[in-house]
Structure 1
Amino acid sequence: MINHLFATILFLPLAYAMDKLDKTVNQDLVSRLKLAATVYDRHNILTKDEDWIYDFNSAEPTDSFKPGSVKNANAATFPAMVGHGMTIAQLKLGPCAMLPAHYHPRAANMVVAITGNTTTWMVNENAVRTVSTTLTPGKMTIFPTGSIHSMQNNGCDDAYLISALNSEDTGTMNIVNGLWSIRDDMIRAAFGNPTLDVKTTGKDIPEVGTGSTYGSDECMNRCGISKGKT
């Protein structure tokens, strides 16, 4: 069963910082790489040294820690990743920022902390306990394929993490967004509350595919962050 704190974070009002839907930068190049029969053929397609570099700093918004951001190097954003079955993500979490509860249907996710103090929550499947870890610099945790997971920067300073996923097309499903996409009466039934005002409760849920959000009131109050601050 999801513990109380995880459930609280799951349903907090969300204020997202940026659109994080990955757009394919060069569909023709990706298609050619997918059709390449040999490594030799791949090198004849990726002919420049620059084709083998992904710069996480390029076009980086100045507010990437307000509240945070996720940046993926995968087959869509970095064509050289085609065929390697991997995604590398840069996670930037400002003070009290979190990644809301979500899962990846096609990838296990390994996250290592570079800076900061970040708490994670993970629910693998029905009837198993919630796993919570604290990631400080040099520590790593695993979110198995399909597991629901969330994380929050507990500190008043920025947190920086690197995430590795074993798919070049991981997929992401935000739990609240997915739940609120079904019929209102089914949502009320799921909560065991036939009088739940679904439209009011869900009116502030952001669009799917966006980045991080501000997290718990406790952390925001401790760090002096206003809910209206963006």
Structure 2
Amino acid sequence: MVLAISTPTQANDPDILTDFIAPNASNVNASFFTYSVLSGFFNPYPNNFTVLKASITQFPALDGQSVSYAVLQFPPAGVNPPHTHPRAAELLIVLLGTLEVGFVDTKNVLFNQTLLEGDIFVFPKGLVHFQYNRNHNQSAIAISAFGSANAGLLSVPKSVFTAGIDDNVLAMSFKTDVPTVQKIKLGLKN
């Protein structure tokens, strides 16, 4: 019992005791610290909402550095559904188009804003947030920076409707019926 109480938990990136973490530090050169995938990603006419990540999974040089990026491409009327990042705040900058963005705090207050090109918005760590390209004629592109090499992602619709929660529980929780819950689940399989 005493160990359970006194054992510290870590919900962020650990501090490292070296300059960087590499599988074989003696053979590392500048290419280890270079990630070129984002340079070929720009698509001004995406068909679907698309994310290209530069996190520890894709770019191992980020291990221990407490930073990562994502490029978000929104087709006209595209949405990044409500989600959270449990291990990092998100700093988003709009590069092309406009985005409606928002988050809900722990008092259930919505903070939303329409962002223009060059605008920056911060989503606090762990809070449910979204981005939406309200423009039905133009794409939007944004870059997100995270204060973690592995910010994590919890999609609210997918975690609620595809994790195996009983349909009756969902119907009662959302004050609807089971056929509506099943229709939502079917739509999230695509």
TM-score band by shorter chain is 0.7 to 0.9
Which of 201, 208, 211 is 2:184 aligned to? 201
Which of 167, 170, 174 is 1:187 aligned to? 170
What does residue 48 of structure 2 align with?
67
5 Å-filtered alignment, 1:34-113, equals 38-39=18-19, 44-45=25-26, 47-55=28-36, 56-58=38-40, 60=41, 65-113=46-94
Are the equivalent residues in 2 in contact too, given 1:104–1:146 (CA < 8 A)? yes
TM-score, length-scaled by structure 1 = 0.66
- 1:137 and 1:51 map into 2 onto residues whose CA distance is 32
Amino acid of the structure 2 residue aligned with 1:204: G
- 2:156 and 2:34 map into 1 onto residues whose CA distance is 33
Identity %: 22
Amino acid of the structure 2 residue aligned with 1:179: V
Are the equivalent residues in 2 in contact too, given 1:72–1:89 (CA < 8 A)? yes
- 2:182 and 2:26 map into 1 onto residues whose CA distance is 51
TM-score, length-scaled by structure 2 = 0.79
- 1:147 and 1:54 map into 2 onto residues whose CA distance is 29
Amino acid of the structure 1 residue aligned with 2:33: W
SS at structure 2 position matched to 1:164: strand
Distance 1:86 1:41, change over 3 A: closer
Amino acid of the structure 2 residue aligned with 1:93: F
Are the equivalent residues in 1 in contact too, given 2:20–2:64 (CA < 8 A)? no
What does residue 164 of structure 1 align with?
145
Which of the pair has the greater relative contact order for Cα pairs under 8 Å at 6+ separation? 1
What does residue 124 of structure 2 align with?
144
When the two chains are superposed, the root-mean-square deviation of aligned CA atoms in Å is 2.5
**Moved runs in structure 1, 4+ residues, more than 6 A?**
61-64
Aligned length: 170
Are the equivalent residues in 2 in contact too, given 1:98–1:153 (CA < 8 A)? yes
Gaps of 5+ in 1: 1-33, 208-230
Are the equivalent residues in 2 in contact too, given 1:46–1:52 (CA < 8 A)? no
Q: CA deviation at 1:196?
A: 3.2
Which of 105, 114, 133 is 1:134 aligned to? 114
